[in-house]
């Protein structure tokens, strides 16, 4: 047997609903404007400071067998050079000529030789005289020997008397060196016919003496101040 659904009856009070609704505005009258809401205040967003820390990478370790720095510069010096020392070369010894007309005359501190014309040869007497000058110079190590030789000639041919006077000076130098005087102490001068006056034209003077001291330089004159009066 089928059952009938139950029915419900709902009753509404329209007057109560109208009382709850807002009153409608009068016809033709606008409601007063509502004041606008104030804008929200400006708020500054917060700033967040973030500390950044930089991590330094660790220094890598050196591989094995690698030096920490550059190698020291090794300076290699060449071996010292040893120069051979040669004994001084002696000039040829002078052989006296007994027939040479050369004569010897004593001078203060030495000797003067006079040769034959055109000759530069020595005899035994003149060779002995030169060796006597060498012996006196060896006794005084400060002595220096000056050999000055002349030879006559003419102005048209100055080379011939110069060569002859040079041969005479070198002959005396050779005798002195073989007598034991080092060459640094001998000063040989070939004059030729220059300054030949004052003695025989075929002469040679050999004198041992101390070298002359070098004179000191002259003092500069003192300037006199301008306007100074001399008494």
pLDDT number for residue 123: 97
Q: Does the model's pTM come out above 0.85?
A: no
Residue 89 CA to residue 217 CA, distance in Å, equals: 39
pLDDT number for residue 73: 81
Q: Half-sphere exposure of residue 8, counting CA atoms within 13 Å on the CB side?
A: 2
pLDDT number for residue 52: 61
> Of 188, 192, 190, 191, nearest to 158 (Cα)?
192
In the chain, where the domains are located:
103-209
Write the DSSP assignment of 51-85 as a string of letters: ---PPPPPPPPPPTT--SSPPP----PPPPP-PPP
Q: Which two tokens stand for residue 82?
A: 């040893």
What would the pLDDT profile of 13-53 be if each residue is shown by its tens digit?
666 666 665 555 555 556 666 666 666 666 676 666 666 66
> Is CATH 3.30.1330.60 what the domain over 103-209 is classified as, yes or no?
yes
pLDDT number for residue 231: 47
H/E element, 162: helix 159-178
- Averaged pLDDT, groups of 10, the chain, 231 residues long: 55 63 57 67 66 66 73 83 85 95 96 97 97 96 96 95 97 97 96 94 96 74 60 47
């Amino acid at each position: 047997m089928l059952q009938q659904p139950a029915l419900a009856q709902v009753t509404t009070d329209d007057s109560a609903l109208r009382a709850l609704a807002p009153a409608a505005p009068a016809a033709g009258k606008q409601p007063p404007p509502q004041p606008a809401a104030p804008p929200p205040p400006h708020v500054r967003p917060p700033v967040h400071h973030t500390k950044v820390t930089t991590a330094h990478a660790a220094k890598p370790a050196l591989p094995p067998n690698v030096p920490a720095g550059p190698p020291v510069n090794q300076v290699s010096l060449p071996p010292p050079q040893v120069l051979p020392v040669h004994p001084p070369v002696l000039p040829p010894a002078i052989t006296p000529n007994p027939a040479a007309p050369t004569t010897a005359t004593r001078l203060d501190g030495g000797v003067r030789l006079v040769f034959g014309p055109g000759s530069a040869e020595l005899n035994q007497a003149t060779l002995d005289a030169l060796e006597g000058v060498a012996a006196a110079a060896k006794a005084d190590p400060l002595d220096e020997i000056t050999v000055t030789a002349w030879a006559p000639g003419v102005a048209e041919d100055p080379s011939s008397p110069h060569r002859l006077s040079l041969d005479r000076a070198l002959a005396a130098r050779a005798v002195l060196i073989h007598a034991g005087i080092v060459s640094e102490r001998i000063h040989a001068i070939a004059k030729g016919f220059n300054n030949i006056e004052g003695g025989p034209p075929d002469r040679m003077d050999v004198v041992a003496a101390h070298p002359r001291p070098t004179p000191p330089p002259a003092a500069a004159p003192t300037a006199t101040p301008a306007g100074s009066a001399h008494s």
